[in-house]
Amino acid sequence: FSDGITEDIITELSRFRDLFVIARNSSFVFKNQSVDIADIGQKLGVRYVVEGSVRKSGKRARITAQLIDATTGSHVWGDRYDRELEDIFAVQDEVVRIIASTLVGRVAHAHRDHTQRKPTINLDAYDWFVQGREHFYNGTPEDNKKACVMFEKAISLDPGYAGAHALLAETYARDWLTFWNEPLETSFDLAWENAKKSLTLDDTDSQAHTALGVICQYRGDHDQAYFHLDKALSLNPNDTHALFYMARLDMVSGNPEQALERVIQARRNNPFGKYDLMLVPVYYMSHNYVEA
C-alpha cells in the first residue's frame, strides 16, 4: 500500500515539466535503508529528496512527508496527515501541489486539474491495482499472470479505472511478446482492447498513451506509436518507459542521434535502470564503435 502511494506521488510530480523527477525503480533502491540524504542526492544527481512514510490501520492512514535539501540537509517542508483511507487521494494531491509550488514557484493549471482527478473511487480496486503493478514490475512469467488477475479484479470493481486498463494492456502485450501465454492472438487482442479502453476513459493519462503507443509499435504501426508516445511525454516528460520506446522508434526510423538523446535522458531519470543495453545498438548505428 505504501509503495503504491509513493509511486503515485512520483508519477504526479513527473507531470511537471519544470521538475526533474527520478523514476520509481531508482528511487526504491533506497527504500528501508539508513542512507545519508546527501549520499542519495549525489547518487541520483538531485538537489531535493522527498522522504516519508505511510502507516495503515483499519480504515485510517497516517502519512508523513518532508522535502529535504540534499545539499544542506535542511528541511524545506514537512507535514503529517491522519486521514480516512477514502481521503488518501486528496492527501496525495496536497503533497504534490506543495512540493511543486515550493520547487517550481507555481502549479500549472493543467497539471493541477489532472491531479484532482481520482484514479478510482473504489479503494479496494486501488489496492488490487497497486498489488498488480508490483507484480508487473517484477517481470517474470508467474508475476505477469498474477498481475493480470489483480488488474482484472481492480477493473471488475471499477470498470472505469483507466490506469488498470492501461497496465493490463501492457501485461497482455508482454505475454504476446514473450510467448508466455497461448494463444498469442488472444493476448494481443486483449492488449489492444484494454489499451484503447484506457484511452477512451482518460485521454489525458500519460500511461494510457504509453500503453497504446507500445502496442502500436508491436503492431508495426510506427506513425500511431510515435503519436501516442509523443503525447505521453508531453503529459509526463519524465516517463522513462515512454522514452525507451521512443528511442526504439528513432532507431527504426534511422535517427540514432535522437535515440541517443532519449536513452541518456532515461538513464538520467532512472540511474539504476538497464539502459546501457540500449546504448550498444544506438552507438553502433551512429558508427561510434568505440563507445559501443
Determine the Cα–Cα distance for residues 249 and 255; give it in Å rounded to an integer: 9
| pLDDT at residue 96 in the model | 82
Q: Tell which residue, 204, 205, 238, 169, has the closest CA to residue 10.
A: 238
Which positions of the chain have pLDDT values less than 50? 106-116
Contact 243, 262 (CB under 8 A): yes
Which element (helix H / strand E) includes 54?
strand 48-57
Determine the Cα–Cα distance for residues 280 and 291; give it in Å rounded to an integer: 8
What's the pTM value of the predicted model, to 2 decimals? 0.73
In the chain, alpha helices (H)? 2-14, 24-27, 37-44, 88-104, 109-115, 123-138, 141-157, 162-178, 184-201, 206-219, 222-235, 240-252, 256-269, 276-285
pLDDT digits (tens, 9 = 90+) for 222-269: 999 999 999 999 999 989 999 999 999 999 888 989 999 999 999 888
| pLDDT at residue 99 in the model | 81
| pLDDT at residue 262 in the model | 92
Cell triple for 214: 507500445
Domains annotated on the chain, with CATH: 2-115 (3.40.50.10070), 123-285 (1.25.40.10)
Residue 168 vs residues 30, 148, 194, 212, 213: alpha-carbon distances, Å: 28, 6, 7, 11, 14
Position 176, amino acid: W
| pLDDT at residue 15 in the model | 80
| pLDDT at residue 113 in the model | 46
| pLDDT at residue 136 in the model | 93
| pLDDT at residue 275 in the model | 78
Tell me the pairing of strands 60-69 and 48-57. Answer: antiparallel
